[in-house]
Amino acid sequence: MSGFSYMEYIVPGLIMMSVITNSYSNVASSFFSAKLQKNIEELLVAPVPNYVIIAGYVMGGVTRGLLVGAIVTCVSLLFVDLQVEHWGIIVATVFMTSVVFALGGLINAVYAKTFDDISIIPTFVLTPLTYLGGVFYSISLLP
């Protein structure tokens, strides 16, 4: 792992994993619950443009993802001293990742018919990315 301790290697992956899963699941479950309970119809008849509703759900997911990422970062600082070279790039990357996965959760919730449909993306995309994307070990160890 090129001169890093295992804790220094695993912490950034755990932070991003928490941001991704929380951004996705917050929007997917919130929007699908509103759709299932027919609460979304009340929003659609309100004098509010559709993009504002979408932005509200997405920013809710982004906020949750960033807050959970910040909490995981604070807890991890108790165990390892993180060396950050470029704060701007880190913040921009985490924010854009959170937006992308929040939008993915929204798209999945729009097309989902049951709660089981929401779990397709986490099961077949996010979980393999977690284990094969180098969160727990270096990708140079892959065959």
Please indicate, yes or no, if residue 3 is contained in any of the structural domains.
no
Cα 19 from chain centroid (whole Å): 4
Q: Domain range for residue 29?
A: 8-129
What is the model's pLDDT at position 30? 94
Calculate the alpha carbon distances from 66 to 43, 115, 132 in Å.
26, 25, 23
Within a domain: residue 38?
A: yes
pLDDT in tens, 127-142: 888 877 777 777 777 6
Whether 20 has a pLDDT exceeding 80, the answer reads yes
Residue 76, by phi and psi: left (phi above 0), alpha (psi -120 to 50) or beta? alpha
Does the residue 12 lie in any domain?
yes
Does 135 map to a domain?
Answer: no
Could you tell me if 57 and 107 are in contact, meaning their C-beta atoms sit under 8 angstroms apart? no
Backbone torsions φ then ψ of 129, nearest 5 degrees: -65, -35
> What one-character DSSP code corresponds to residue 139?
G
- Domain annotation covers residue 83: yes
Question: Quick check: is 138 in a domain?
Answer: no
- pLDDT tens digits along 102-126: 999 999 999 999 888 888 888 888 8
Count structural domains, the chain. Answer: 1
pLDDT band at 1 (very low <50, low <70, confident <90, very high): low
- Does residue 143 form part of some domain? no
Question: Is the residue at 136 inside a domain?
Answer: no
- Each residue's pLDDT tens digit, 69-86: 999 999 999 999 888 889
Q: Are 105 and 22 in contact (CB under 8 A)?
A: no
pLDDT at 132: 77
